[in-house]
Chain A
Amino acid sequence: MEWNWAFVFEILPTLGDGVIITIEATLLGSLLAIVLGLILAIARRAHTRWVAWPASAFIHFVRGTPLLVQLYFLFYILPDVGILLSPLVAGVIGLGLHYSTYNAEVYRAGIDNIPKGQWEAAKAVNLTMPQTWLHVIIPQAVPPMNPALANYLVAMFKETPLLSAITVFELMNAARSVANYSYRYLEPMTLVGVFFLLISIPTVIVLRRLERRYTLRS
C-alpha cells in the first residue's frame, strides 16, 4: 500500500476536530487529577484511620486496575444509578480519577521530602497550621514536584485514545471512522502516531531540562 498525500489532506480536517477533543480531555482530566490528587494525599496523611485507610485503599485499587475497565465502569454504571453523563464527561472523570492516584503519590513524596526541622521551625516562630502550609511547606514542596506532575500529564495525554472505546470522538476515534469508510488504515493510523510524537517528544525534552535544573539546585 502506497502513502497517499491527497488522502492525507482530505482527512486532516476530520482528524483536527479529534485533536481538539483530545486536548480538551487532557486539560480537563489533568485539572481534576491535580485537585483530587491533593485531596487524596492530604486524606492519606490524616491522623484518623477512618480517613487515611479508605484513601490509601482507593489509591491502591485504582492503580492496580486498568483505566479502560474503569472507563467502561463509569460509562455504563453511572446511567444505571440515574446519573446521565456525556461520554466526554465520563471520560474526563475516568482520566482524572485514575491519574489523581498517581499525583497523590507525587504530592506525598514531595511533602515527605521537606525536612522535619522546617515544621519545627514553623512551630517555634508560632505560625498557625495554614500559615505553615502556605508560607513554609508548599513553596518548598511544589517546585520539585512539577516535573513529576507534568510527566503524568503527558502520560494522561497518551492514554486519551482509550476514550474512543466509550464513543468519545477524539483523535483515535476520528482516525478509525475515516479508516472504516475509506478502507485505508495506513495514513490515519500513522498520522495519529505522528501527532502524539509531535506533542510528547518536545514536552519530554523540556521536562528533562526542568528536572535537571531542580536536581542541580538541591
Chain B
Amino acid sequence: MIDWAGYLTLILGGAWVTVKLTVLGCALALCAAFIAGLGRLSRFAMIRSATVAYIEFFRGTSVLVQLFWAYFVLPLLGVPLSPMQAGILALGLNVGAYGAEVVRGAILAIPRAQLEACVAINLSRWQRMRHVILPQAIVLMLPTFGNNAIELLKGTAVVSLIAISDMTFEAQVVRTQTGNTAIPFLTILILYFALSGTITLGIRGLERRLSAGLDVTKG
C-alpha cells in the first residue's frame, strides 16, 4: 500500500519551494530589468555598453548553463553560494535580461509629444521618468512581464538539477520510491499549470488597475 497522502505533502512542500524561488527570482528579475532597461537608454556610452553586455550574455546562453556556472564555478572564484542563492541569482538575472528589453521597448513606445510636454513645463529628467513616462510605460510592460514571470516559473524546474528540493525534485523522489511515474508527474504538471494560470490572472488584474485613467492602452 502506497501512502499517497504522505507523498502529496512532499510534493506540496516542493511546490512551496517553487513558489519561493519564483517570487524571489521575479523580484531580482524586476530590479535587473529596470536597472538594465534604463541603463540601455543612458546618456553615457559606458553604462550603455555594460548593460548591452549583460543582456546579450544572459540572453545568449541558457538558464541551465548559467545555473551550473553559478553553482559550480562561482565558488571556485571565491563566491560560495547555497543552491537556493545560485538558483535565484541565475533565474533572476536570466529573466531580468529579457525584461530589460521590455522596459526599453515600452519607454521608447511612449509618444515623443509626452517628452516635449515635460520639457515645456520644465520637469527634471528624474521627474519626467517618475511622473510621466514610467506610469504609462509600465502598463505597456505588464503583459510581457507576465509572460516573463511564467518563463521564470517554468525555469525553476531546472534548479532540481542542483539538488534543490523543489516540486520537480520531489516528484523524482516520489517516482524512485513508488516506481510510479504517471501520478507524481501529472500532479506537478497540473500544479505548474495552476501556478502559471495564477500569474496570468494576477497580471490581468494589475493591468486593469494601473491602466485606469490612462489612454495609452488598447483597452
Chain A positions within 8 Å of B, measured between CB atoms, are: 1, 61, 63-70, 72-73, 76-77, 80, 158-162, 164-165, 172, 176, 179, 185-186, 189-190, 192-193, 196-197, 200-201, 204
CB closest chain-B residue, reference A185: B72
**Across the interface, which residues of A come within 8 angstroms of B158, CB to CB?**
66, 68, 162
Q: Are A66 and B192 in contact (CB under 8 A)?
A: yes
Complex Cα distance, B156 from A164, in Å, reads: 16
Q: Does B4 contact A (CB under 8 A)?
A: no
Beyond A192-B65, A196-B61, list 5 extra A-B contacts (CB 8 Å).
A61-B189, A66-B154, A72-B168, A189-B73, A190-B69
The B contact surface, by secondary structure, is helix
Is chain A's interface secondary structure helix, strand, loop, or mixed overall? helix
State the B residues within 8 Å of A (CB): 56-57, 59-62, 64-66, 68-69, 72-73, 76-77, 150, 153-158, 160-161, 168, 171-172, 175, 181-182, 185-186, 188-189, 192-193, 196-197
A108 to B195, CA, bound (A): 26
A73 to chain B, nearest CB (A): 5
Q: Which residues of A contact B153 (CB under 8 A)?
A: 66
CA distance A192 to B59 in the complex (A): 14
Q: Which of A1, A66, A196, A201 contacts B65 (CB 8 A)?
A: A196
Contact A185–B76 (Cβ < 8 Å): yes
Q: Return the chain B residue nearest A75 by Cβ.
A: B181
- B154 and A67 within 8 A (CB): yes
Provide the residues of chain B in CB contact with A190, threshold 8 Å. 69, 73
A160 to B56, CA, bound (A): 19
Q: Which residues of A contact B160 (CB under 8 A)?
A: 68
- A69 and B171 within 8 A (CB): yes
> Are B60 and A65 closer than 8 Å at their CB atoms?
no
Cross-chain contact B62 with A61 (CB below 8 angstroms)? no
* Interchain CB contact under 8 A, A68 and B60: no
> Quick one: which of A67, A165, A186 contacts B76, CB cutoff 8 A?
A186
Q: List 9 A-B contacts (CB under 8 A).
A: A61-B193, A64-B150, A65-B154, A66-B153, A66-B157, A72-B171, A76-B185, A189-B69, A201-B56
Q: Assuming the A-B contacts A69-B192, A77-B181, A189-B72, are A197 and B157 also in contact, with contact meaning beta carbons closer than 8 angstroms in the complex? A: no
Inter-chain contact A72/B196, CB cutoff 8 Å: no
Pairs A-B, 8 closest by C-beta atoms: A66-B157, A158-B62, A64-B196, A185-B72, A76-B181, A66-B154, A68-B157, A161-B64
* Interfacial chain B residues near A172, Cβ < 8 Å: 64-65, 68
Cβ contacts under 8 Å, B154 to chain A: 64-67
B-side contacts of A1, CB under 8 Å: 76-77
CA A196 – CA B61 in complex, angstroms?
A: 5
Chain B residue nearest to A200 (CB atoms) is: B60
* Residues on A with beta carbons closer than 8 Å to the beta carbon of B155: 66
Contact A204 B60 (CB under 8 A): yes
Contacting residues, chain A, for B168 (C-beta < 8 A): 66, 68-69, 72
Within the complex, the shortest CB–CB distance from A1 to chain B, in Å, comes to: 4
> From A60, which residue of chain B is reached at the shortest CB distance?
B193
